[in-house]
C-alpha cells in the first residue's frame, strides 16, 4: 500500500519559468490569446462564436460518472514556458529543465536523437515546445507541426477542416476547447504518400492550477497512410486538473489513419484525491471511398475519463474501428466508448472494448452504432467485455443501436467476468508468481486490442496494466 503513490513514475513536477494568463475565461482572455498567437481574424471569430455557444450550455451529466462541480473561472487557460527547446522557436532560448523533463519522460525530442523512428510533437502545458523530424518529413511533402504554426503557414488547410469534424456546437467540452484551445498538433499527408515513420504527440501538463486545451488535426489525402501515436502524463497533485482536447481526423479516398493512444494522466491517489479530468472529443471523418480510420486506445490514467473516439463513415466502403482497453483502479471513473455513424454504402465498423475495473473504481462502456437510411449493406460488429477484479468495483455496458436501413448487419456480444481465484491458483500451482499470473490473465483478456498497437506501445500498455493491478488481487 505505502508505495502506491510512487507507482506513477511520471508524477514529478518541473520547475521552470513560465508565463501565464490571469485565471478564468471570458472574451478578453480569448482575444488576448488570439492576439498573442497573432491569429487571423477568422480564428478569433471561431473562438468567440464557440465561447458564446458554450455559455448557453449546461455541464453534461448523462455519463455514468460522478463529476464534482468544476469552477471554470478558477482555471488558468494559458501557461507557457518562457524558454523553449529549439533555437529558432519562440524567443530562441533553450530551457534545460524542459529538455530534462522530456528526457525523464522517455520522449526523444532532441535533434541529435532524430534517428529514433518516431517523430514527436511535444506539448507542454499550453504550447507545443518541439516538433521533431520536420525536415525529413517535408521531403515527402508531409507537414507535421503545431496547430498554431499551421494556422500561420497553412491557413487554407486549417480553415477547410478545423471544426468540420467536431463542430464547436458538438458538446460542452468541444465548445470550451474551441473557444480557448492553446495549441496542439497538425498533420498533412499529401496524396499517395505512405508516411515513412510513425508520428506522435506527447502531452505533458506541468503547471499547477492550469488546464490543457489542445486540438489536433490530421488530414490524410487520397491514397495516403499514417500511423499516429499519442501519449500523456501529468504531475501527481491533490488538486484535480482539467484536460479537454479535440482530435479531428480526415481520411480522403483510399486513405488510412491509425490513431493509437496510451492515456496515462495522473489518476489520483488511493483515496481518490487529485487526478486529471480527461474530457476529450475525438472523431474521424472517413470522407473518401474505401477510407479507413481506426482508434486504438489504452485508457489507464485520469481520475475521470469521458471520451468516445468516433467515426463518421461517409465515403462508400469506408471502414471505422475502435479498439479499447480501459483499466480503472482506486477511485477512478471511466465512461468511454465510441460512435460509429454509417452514412455511405457498404460501410463497415468494428468495436472491441475491454474494460477492467479494480478496487472501488467504476468503468463503463458506452457506444452508439447508427445506420443512416443511405447506408446500404452497412455492417457492424461490436464486442464489449468487462473484467472485475475484487468485489467493490463495477462495470457497465451501454450499447445503443439506431438503425434506419434494413439491409444492415449488426452484431453485438458482451461478457462480464471476474479474475477467479481458480484461475490464479491454477497458474500459481505451476510456479507462476501472482503478479505474472494476473498479467497473463489480463493480457489474455486484452489480446485483441493489444495486437492493434505498435510494438513499443503494447509493451508499455502491458506494463501499465500490470502496475495498476499489482495490489488489487490476492
Contact residues for another protein, defined by CB under 8 A:
420-423, 425-434, 436-437, 440-441, 443-448
339 Cα distance to chain centroid: 15
Contact 326, 299 (CB under 8 A): yes
Nearer to another protein, 68 or 431 (CB): 431
Quote the least distance from Cβ 365 to another protein, whole Å: 18
Q: How large is the angle between the packed helices 41-55 and 172-180, nearest 10 degrees?
A: 150
Quote the least distance from Cβ 429 to another protein, whole Å: 5
Nearer to another protein, 246 or 327 (CB): 327
Quote the least distance from Cβ 423 to another protein, whole Å: 5
Q: What are 281's three cell numbers?
A: 472529443
Nearer to another protein, 404 or 436 (CB): 436
226: alpha, beta or left, given left = phi > 0 and alpha = psi -120 to 50? beta
Quote the least distance from Cβ 29 to another protein, whole Å: 50
Cα dihedral 369/351/317/310 (nearest 10): 60
Nearer to another protein, 150 or 441 (CB): 441
Other Cβ atoms within 10 Å of 27 Cβ, number: 13
Which SS3 state, helix, strand or coil, does residue 445 take?
A: helix
Q: What are 135's three cell numbers?
A: 525536415
Sign of the four-CA dihedral 453, 455, 457, 461: positive
Nearer to another protein, 224 or 353 (CB): 353
Nearer to another protein, 9 or 447 (CB): 447
Residue that is written with C-alpha cell 498567437 in the block: 37
The C-alpha atoms of residue 417 and residue 422 are separated, in whole angstroms, by 13
Q: What are 173's three cell numbers?
A: 467540452
Quote the least distance from Cβ 474 to another protein, whole Å: 8
Q: Please name the residues in contact with 286: beta carbons below 8 A apart, sequence gap of 6 or more.
A: 251, 292, 293, 311, 312, 313, 314, 315, 318, 319, 320, 344, 347
Quote the least distance from Cβ 424 to another protein, whole Å: 9
Which SS3 state, helix, strand or coil, does residue 446 take?
A: helix
Quote the least distance from Cβ 356 to another protein, whole Å: 13
Nearer to another protein, 56 or 429 (CB): 429
Nearer to another protein, 234 or 442 (CB): 442
Quote the least distance from Cβ 355 to another protein, whole Å: 15
The end-to-end CA distance of the chain, in Å, is 13
Quote the least distance from Cβ 443 to another protein, whole Å: 7
Write the burial class of residue 400 (CB in 10 Å: 0-12 exposed, 13-18 middle, 19+ buried). exposed
Amino acid at each position: 500500500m505505502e508505495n502506491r503513490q510512487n507507482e506513477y513514475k511520471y508524477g514529478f513536477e518541473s520547475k521552470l519559468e513560465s508565463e501565464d494568463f490571469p485565471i478564468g475565461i471570458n472574451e478578453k482572455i480569448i482575444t488576448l490569446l488570439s492576439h498573442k498567437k497573432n491569429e487571423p481574424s477568422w480564428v478569433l471569430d471561431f473562438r468567440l462564436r464557440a465561447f458564446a455557444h458554450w455559455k448557453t450550455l449546461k455541464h453534461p451529466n448523462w455519463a455514468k460518472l460522478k463529476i464534482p462541480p468544476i469552477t471554470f473561472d478558477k482555471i488558468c487557460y494559458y501557461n507557457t514556458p518562457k524558454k523553449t527547446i529549439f533555437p529558432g522557436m519562440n524567443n530562441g532560448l533553450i530551457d534545460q529543465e524542459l529538455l530534462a523533463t522530456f528526457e525523464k519522460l522517455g520522449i526523444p525530442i532532441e535533434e541529435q536523437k532524430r534517428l529514433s523512428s518516431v517523430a514527436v510533437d511535444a506539448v507542454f502545458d499550453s504550447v507545443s515546445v518541439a516538433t521533431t523530424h520536420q525536415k525529413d518529413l517535408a521531403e515527402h511533402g508531409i507537414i507535421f507541426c503545431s496547430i498554431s504554426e499551421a494556422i500561420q503557414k497553412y491557413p487554407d488547410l486549417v480553415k477547410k477542416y478545423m471544426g468540420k469534424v467536431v463542430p464547436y456546437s458538438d458538446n460542452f467540452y468541444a465548445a470550451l476547447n474551441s473557444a480557448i484551445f492553446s495549441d496542439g498538433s497538425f498533420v498533412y499527408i499529401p496524396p499517395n504518400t505512405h508516411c515513412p515513420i510513425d508520428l506522435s504527440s506527447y502531452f505533458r501538463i506541468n503547471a499547477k492550477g492550469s488546464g490543457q486545451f489542445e486540438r489536433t488535426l490530421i488530414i490524410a489525402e487520397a491514397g495516403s497512410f499514417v500511423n499516429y501515436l499519442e501519449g500523456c502524463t501529468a504531475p501527481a497533485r491533490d488538486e484535480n486538473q482539467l484536460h479537454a482536447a479535440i482530435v479531428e481526423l480526415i481520411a480522403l479516398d483510399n486513405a488510412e489513419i491509425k490513431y493509437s493512444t496510451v492515456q496515462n494522466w495522473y489518476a489520483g491517489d488511493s483515496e481518490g484525491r487529485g487526478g486529471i479530468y480527461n474530457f476529450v472529443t475525438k472523431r474521424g471523418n472517413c470522407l473518401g471511398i474505401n477510407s479507413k480510420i481506426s482508434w486504438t486506445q489504452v485508457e489507464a490514467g485520469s481520475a475521470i475519463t469521458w471520451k468516445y473516439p468516433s467515426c463518421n463513415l461517409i465515403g462508400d466502403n469506408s471502414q471505422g474501428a475502435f479498439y479499447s482497453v480501459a483499466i480503472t483502479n482506486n477511485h477512478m471513473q471511466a465512461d468511454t466508448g465510441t460512435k460509429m455513424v454509417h452514412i455511405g454504402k457498404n460501410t463497415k465498423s468494428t468495436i472491441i472494448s475491454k474494460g477492467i475495473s479494480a478496487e472501488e473504481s467504476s468503468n463503463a462502456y458506452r457506444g452508439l452504432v447508427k445506420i443512416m437510411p443511405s447506408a446500404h449493406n452497412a455492417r457492424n460488429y461490436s464486442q464489449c467485455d468487462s473484467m472485475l477484479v475484487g468485489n467493490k468495483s463495477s462495470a457497465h455496458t451501454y450499447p445503443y443501436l439506431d438503425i434506419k436501413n434494413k439491409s444492415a448487419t449488426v452484431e453485438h456480444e458482451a461478457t462480464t467476468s471476474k479474475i477467479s481465484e481458480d484461475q490464479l491458483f491454477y497458474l500459481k500451482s505451476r510456479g507462476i508468481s501472482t503478479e505474472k499470473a494476473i498479467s497473463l490473465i489480463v493480457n489474455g483478456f486484452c489480446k485483441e486490442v493489444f495486437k492493434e498497437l505498435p510494438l513499443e506501445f503494447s509493451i508499455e500498455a502491458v506494463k501499465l496494466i500490470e502496475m495498476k493491478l499489482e495490489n488489487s488481487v490476492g
